[in-house]
Structure 1
């Protein structure tokens, strides 16, 4: 049953499965790309903006989703894989399409390992490639 996937993901991160949380998680997974809070607000117009914000915050805190700063001015969020702990070793490459302004996770592409100098403590990596996604690259009107 399709709903079992969402319940499994919430239970794995100790998130109580309310109707709104299931709706937001399902929407994020169905969009099949990283989404911003405004993207979710547009898609879920019947859900209060503050509820979406609180749910995103909870999901981030429980490592159910990760945030992506793709340089567009709005953080994007993507659902983590079941084995992700959001540690530096779990970080992967992201791609920002300058045509449609969508961000995509390249889960199979790990970020390059960088050794910080002594005394520095590394908590995260933001590695974003920029260009055109296949749909935008195929458009005849591309720049």
Structure 2
């Protein structure tokens, strides 16, 4: 993706476009699966782990990406839709392949509305399906 498009994406989320932020955003945009900090660190071997982590946290705080706990013990990150507010009612499902260990966003499958008891407040929600992806099944 061109740098000017990446810069615009960051500015639209009120994120200052630094060189590292542009690199991480470019990698996330090119990925069909959610990526962990370790995945990004391997691909960006010149970058400092802490800097990548801080970049991911900045992206998450500004609702550019969301984190996924897929049960592997490693948090993965994926881009949000442009209109995403990252609130529990906008949460979509994820699919974790138990064969290749990849995690996919299922953006067309949203969690149903849940009516909680009085004085309960949702802070986070997650819906992860586990099985074999189409690539591993083939």
TM-score by length of 1: 0.92
2:8 equivalent in structure 1: 8
SS of structure 1 residue aligned to 2:67: strand
TM-score by length of 2: 0.95
1:105 equivalent in structure 2: 105
Superimposed CA distance per residue, residues 19-72 of structure 1 (whole angstroms, 9 cap, x where no aligned partner):
110000101111221110001001111111111011011111111110001001
2:21 equivalent in structure 1: 21
- TM-fit CA distance, 1:90: 1.5
Whole-Å Cα distance in 2 between the matches of residues 34 and 5 of structure 1? 21
2:124 equivalent in structure 1: 124
Question: For 1:78-117, what aligned pairs fall within 5 Å after superposition?
Answer: 78-117=78-117
Whole-Å Cα distance in 2 between the matches of residues 22 and 57 of structure 1? 14
Residue ranges of structure 2 left out of the alignment (5+ in a row): none
- TM-fit CA distance, 1:111: 1.2
Q: Give the RMSD, CA atoms, in angstroms.
A: 1.2
